[in-house]
Amino acid sequence: MCGITGIWDFSKQKSIPQLKSKTKEMADALSHRGPDGADTWIDPKSHLALGHRRLSIIDLSNAASQPMVSSSGRFVITYNGEIYNYRSLRDTLTQSGLTLKTQSDTEVILEMCAHFGIEATLQKLIGMFAFCLWDIVSKKLFLVRDRLGIKPLYWGMQNNIFAFGSELQSLKPTPHWKFNIDNEAVGGYFLKGYVPAPQSIYQHIFKLEPGHLLVVDQEKNIRKKAYWSVENSIQPAKKQVPTDQLISDFDTLITDAVQKKIGIRCANWLFSIWWH
């Protein structure tokens, strides 16, 4: 578990040192999610800053710290999660001629997005994740949440300032933001026992829905789209499949999922023993 956060000050009212200080404060609010390290990254021309709190799991070296810049220098990522098939995706990248500097799944996501595009990459990721990708060239910011919404991600735009974070408390330091309770969301909480997405408990602050991609550009346009849904992933059968075949296929899928999960956990455990 890590913590991610960031701020895009379209108003440019804050100086770059002030922006960096605010982003650090936002990231520090997530220190319980990432006690092993913290850093910020600034794009001074756009008045955009990304923050990260790190829980070291896969690659414990400083080379795997975040926010991380792509080998091309065009993209920057701050990421929370675990990608179970990152080793096979890593092989895809190395076969394409890319030399990776770390053993982290962070770098794999970053370079996959840089080489194949973010939407194509999302179709290949197996795991739980929430991340922000900043394109320095196109001046676009991308927020992504995993298919089932295992990893949290909140966002909002108030007074020409866009901000996001893994938890609501990381957004509290955002300058010129108001945190007024959303009465409709409170009603939803008492009805269902939780605040349904895309609402949060505060007005004008939202939860990114599971399986969604959100894009913000330099004109302050915000676009959101679903890159995955249960409905679209279930294809109607074109022919009658024997029950034995269905059971066999289901067993294969379950076995593959468990092996991916256990495999990466064992690899992480062995790596941590070797490292220490």
Predicted pLDDT at 252: 73
Catalytic residue among 2, 113, 132, 266: 2
Read off the pLDDT of residues 8-19 as tens digits, 9 standing for 90 and up.
Answer: 999 998 899 999
State pTM to two decimals.
Answer: 0.88
Higher pLDDT, 259 or 168: 168
Reported as a single tens digit per residue, the pLDDT across 105-116 is: 999 999 999 999
Give the pLDDT band of residue 235 (cuts 50, 70, 90): low
Q: CA 248 to CA 201: how far, in whole Å?
A: 44
**Is the Cβ–Cβ distance between 108 and 69 less than 8 Å?**
no
**Rounded mean pLDDT, 209-236:** 90
Residue type at 150 in one-letter notation = I
* Residues pairing with 276 in the sheet: none
- pLDDT at 189 > cutoff 70: yes
**DSSP states along 7-18:** EEETT--S-HHH
Burial of 34: CB neighbours in 10 Å, binned 0-12, 13-18, 19+: buried
Q: What is the spatial distance between Cα 223 and Cα 62, in angstroms, rounded to a whole number? A: 34
Instruction: Give the tens place of pLDDT for each residue, 58-114.
Output: 888 989 999 999 999 999 999 999 999 999 999 999 999 999 999 999 999 999 999
Q: What is the mean pLDDT of residues 214-234?
A: 91
Q: Please report where in the chains the tokens 């794009």 appear, as a residue.
A: 43
Residues in the chain, overall count: 276
Q: Where are the alpha helices (H) located in 96-167, listed in sequence order?
A: 105-116, 118-122
Q: Is 2 a catalytic residue?
A: yes
Start-to-end C-alpha separation, the chain:
20
pLDDT for position 257: 59
